[in-house]
Amino acid sequence: MNGYVKTGNSWKALVQPHVKVGGAWKGVQAAYVKVGGAWKKFFAFLSVAMPNRTVDNTTLTPICVAGLRLNTDGTFSETNSAGTYSTAGTWLTGGSASAVWVERTITSGSLNRTDPGTGRLQLNVARSYEVDEDTDPGTHACTFTLTFYDASTGGNVLDTATITLEANVV
């Protein structure tokens, strides 16, 4: 949910308001307004910090998998060469995953195993990106950018990350 402030003749979305507490400025996590006797949230802090990642898996026999999944709890997971996911870090540092949209842009290769699709996708469900290789020897790789937004269209860019997935059979 966004709060807005009027600057000149236009309304601007609040990105990260601050309040002075005991002489120090602190980021506001949430803001409320009383409407008809009930408190309603009009601002919730939303922050994404997805690191650049490389998932480079190798096996001696086909099939080899390399994948990354954005989980709804704000973590991300990576696959081992067999395709089993394990948590590798955090992408969401404030707010709710369902308030974030992600868009992937492939810069080289292809997601030949799992591709959630083009355009902005809401992170109210987990989104997986995977490549695989089934040729002995062989390699399949894909590099793409993930751009995180606070809206399905327009809105603010919250973060970007470059992801490289590589599956190798030697």
Count other Cβ atoms within 10 Å, centred on residue 49.
14
Top mean pLDDT of 3-7, 24-28, 91-95 is at 91-95
Domain covering 47-169 assigned CATH 2.60.40 in the classification: yes
Average pLDDT, the chain: 93
Closest-CA residue to 66 (of 51, 52, 53, 81): 81
Q: Label residue 7 by pLDDT band (50, 70, 90).
A: confident
Kind plus residue range of the DSSP H or E element containing 102? strand 101-109
Evaluate if residue 4 carries a pLDDT over 90.
no
Confirm if 17 and 58 have CB atoms less than 8 A apart.
no
Taking the complete model, does pTM exceed 0.75, yes or no? yes
- What pLDDT digit, counting tens, does each position of 56-100 carry? 999 998 999 999 999 999 999 999 999 999 999 999 998 899 999
Domain layout of the chain by residue ranges: 4-44, 47-169
